[in-house]
Each structure stands twice: as C-alpha cells, then as structure tokens.
Structure 1
Amino acid sequence: MNSIFSYFIPKDKKFFPLFEKASSNLMDMADKLEALVNSDPSSDREKLHKEIERLEQKGDEITHAIYLELSKTFITPFDREDIHQLAAALDDIADYIHGSSNRMLLYNVHLMTEPVKKLGELVKEGCKEVYKAVSELKDLKNIRVITDSCVRINSIENQADYVFDKAVGELFDYEEDAKNIIKYKEVLSALETATDMCEDVANVMESILVKNA
C-alpha cells in the first residue's frame, strides 16, 4: 500500500514542505510564548508580543499558500479534505498562541502565575510533537513516530485540562478582585485551547494514517 501511495504523490511535493514550514513556525511561536510567560515584568515583553504577532501572520501566509496549491493541484498526496483540515488545524494553534499573547498584553497581565507558565510549557511540548509528526507525513515510512507523537499530544492536552481546571478553581477560591479573575481565566483559557488545537492536529493525522498507511 505504501508503494502505491508513494506512486501517486506529486513529484514536486508542494504540500509537505508547506506543512513542515507551518509546524516549524508553530515551534518558533511556542518558543516566544514560553519566553514571554517566563519573562520578568521589567523585561521588554512588548518585543515578544510583536514577534508572536509577526509569526502568526507568517502562519496565515503559509495556510493561504496551502489552500492555493489545493485549488491548483489535481492529484494530491492524500484526501483533499484532510489537507484542508490539517492546514486549518495548524493555523488554529497559531491563532490561539497569538490570542494568549494578545490577552496578556491587552489585559495588562504583569504577573505570570505558575499555571500560566505550566500551560505555556505544555503548549511548547504540544507544538514540538506536532512538528515531529508532521515531518514524517512526507513518506509515511515512520508511522510509529507519528502515532507516538499523537499519543503524547493527547496526554499533553489532558495535563493542560487539569492545570486549567485547578487554576480556575483556585482563582475563585482565593482571588478577591473580580477583574483579575476574568483576566487570568481568559489567558488560561486561550493557552489551554492551544493544546486542544494540537489534539485536533493529532486527530487529523490519525485519520490520514487510517486511510493511507
């Protein structure tokens, strides 16, 4: 089946380099996010916010390039619907990483709490596994690498759920300022949702494996 599948892959392999660029860009965004949540309040956080925004725009350009190639290509390496869903899921991760950064900036969140830092770490771990899995899609020779990464992504998302739920519970128990409750809940929610989007990518890749491996 793999040999038959490889026969139909377009020789130019336009989609795979674009997917790798998209997932690599997510790694860069996650690095900046981790630096942001671990930065000192007196540091130049504005620079990190702007860099995350720049990378999010770069991700949008890559997504549009994938959609353009999809509209022009007759024979695709796997189902057109899966290509579209994978591109959209990768873009969603970028959107929520940017959204997390944006909420920190707009809501003047200066103190980065331990749950915020932990979720930032989990987002980075999720993006790392997404990159590893996406990089193996080009020939499907290392299916175990993809499946292992998908399992780890699911575990990361479960950890993020726990951190989020515990952090929100503690906000309601110990925080007296309603504004702070709203601000931190919004930031925590965006970070946790970024890990949900990593899980969406894993689900799409598992679907691709079922159909083609």
Structure 2
Amino acid sequence: MVLKLFRILMPRDDTFVAAFSAQAARTVDAAQAFRALLAEPASLQAHYARLSQIEREADEINRATIRSIHRTFITPFDRADILNLTDALDDVIDRMKDAGRRLTLYKVPVTPEMLTMADCIICACERLRDGMPLLGDISGNARALGAMCEAVDAIESEADRALQAGMDALFDGGDTRSPGYKLMVQMVYDGIEAVADRCEDVTDLIQAVMVEQV
C-alpha cells in the first residue's frame, strides 16, 4: 500500500509505457509481414526476412526495458508485471516467426482459414498497439483498457473458430492425403494459433495490473 501511494505521488515516468507502445507497434509490423508471408508464397523468404528483422528490433526494445527495470527506483507498477508484459509482447512476435519458420520448412499450401487467422492477429495487434499508451493512466483509462482487453479476447475467439473450421476440413473423411502431410498442416495451424493465444495473454496481464492499480 505504501509503495502504491509512493508511485502515485512520484512524478510520472513514461519510459515503460513508451517502450510497451514501441513493442506493440512492432507487433503490428510483424503481423502484416506474417500475413504477407502467408498470402504471397512466391515471396515467402523475403517476408520471413522482414519478419526476422522486426523480431530483432523488438528484442532490443525488450532488452532495453529489462535494463530500465533494474535502473529505475520507482516503477509505474510492479517490476514483475513490467517484466511479464514486455516478455509477452516480445513473445507475440517470436511466435509469428516460429509459425513462419514452420511454413518455410513444411511448405504446405496456405488455406483460407490460415489467412483468416492471420487477419485476426493483425486486428489483435492493432488493438494492443492502440491500448498501450493508456497504461500511462491506468485508473483514468480503466474503461478503455477493459474494452481493449475484451476486443482482443473476441478476436482470439474468432481465430479459434477459423482454426476449428480449418481442422474440420483437414481431417474430413474425404481428404485422402497422407497422415504425415496432415500432421505438417496441423503444426502450421498450431503455430498460428499460438500467436493469437499470446495476444490474449497480453490482455490477461494487463487485466491483472488493472486489478492491482484501480
């Protein structure tokens, strides 16, 4: 309670909010590159290279944020929460790169359901990008932050529905392709699903911070 009051009375430090905002902006760039990777197989390697570059940029923001945690006397909210949030945002892009790597490795055809999931990921990342600056005043922006979290959850559910539709089509009794092929397609689906899930994880962390702050 004393530390919480101290944080309220101290001049606001926007360093971490700016870092979260920069990370979230990179997730949108990465999501667009990832979607292009799926939609344009002929340029897959170029889009994967772009995704890898964005990942490196996001990693540097993550490392800088961690350094700042150790150098800052009073943080806007709990240090563990800051660390978890910056790592979760970083993981969103890491999961995109992993899904892209699976596609480059297995070279399976991209399905309409995969593209729908990628579109959902872009929407979720845009919501996160727009919501991060609100962390500068959690109490004052509680309603808007809550709406952002609900929107990302709804988008993740939409991605789940696309995943289920894709899996239903993949394992339809009339599909005679080999079990090995189907397993590779499923692993690509799983990789894309992990991205959407990690976006939802970010909102779970934000909601936990809100419970402590509001």
Q: Under a length normalisation based on structure 2, what TM-score does the superposition of the two structures give?
A: 0.90
Map 1:184-203; keep pairs closer than 5 Å. 184-203=185-204
Query: How far did residue 9 of structure 1 move?
Result: 5.0
Asked whether the 8 Å contact 2:48–2:100 carries over to 1, the reply is: yes
Q: 8 Å contact 1:16–1:137 — kept in the other structure?
A: yes
The match for 1:180 is 181
Partner of 2:70: 71
Aligned pairs (5 A) from 1:60-209: 60-109=59-108, 111-140=109-138, 141-173=140-172, 174-209=175-210
CA contact (8 A) 2:24 2:132 kept: yes
Q: Specify every segment of 5 or more residues in structure 1 that has no aligned partner in the other structure, as ranges.
A: none
1:149-168 C-alpha deviation (Å, 9 max, x unpaired): 10011111112222222312
Residue identity in the other structure for 1:21 = A
Describe the superposition over 1:162-210 as per-residue Cα deviations: whole angstroms up to 9, x where unpaired. 2222312321222522232122111111111111111110011111111
Corresponding residue pairs, total: 208
Q: CA deviation at 1:61?
A: 1.3
Q: CA deviation at 1:91?
A: 1.2
Q: For residues 199 and 175 of structure 1, do their structure 2 counterparts lie closer, same or farther at Cα, with a shift above 3 Å needed?
A: farther
8 Å CA contact 2:111, 2:166 repeated in 1: no
**Partners of 2:84 and 2:205 within 8 A in 1:** yes
**What amino acid is aligned across from residue 202 of structure 2 in structure 1?**
V
Cα shift at 1:102: 1.0
Distance 1:3 1:76 in 2: 12
Deviations 1:111-167 (A, max 9, x none): 221111011111111111111221211123332221111001111111222222231
Amino acid at match of 1:136: L
Q: 1:7 aligns with which of 6, 9, 30?
A: 9
Return the letter of the residue paired with 1:123: I
Q: Which consecutive residues of structure 2, in runs of 5 or more, have no partner in the other structure?
A: none
Amino acid at match of 1:132: D
- CA apart distance, 1:4: 7.3
Residue of structure 2 in register with 1:36 after alignment: 37
Report the Cα distance in structure 1 between the residues aligned to 2:22 and 2:5, rounded to whole angstroms: 26
- Partner residue in 2 for 1:16: 17
SS in 2 for 1:59: helix
The sequence identity of aligned pairs, in percent, is 26
What is the identity, as a one-letter code, of the residue corresponding to 2:211?
V
Residue pair 2:7, 2:75 contacting (<8 A) in 1 also: no
Distance, in Å, in 1 between the alignment partners of 2:76 and 2:87 is 17
**Alpha-carbon distance change, 106 to 143 in structure 1, aligned in 2, over 3 angstroms:** same
Q: Distance in 2 between matches of 1:129 and 1:96?
A: 18
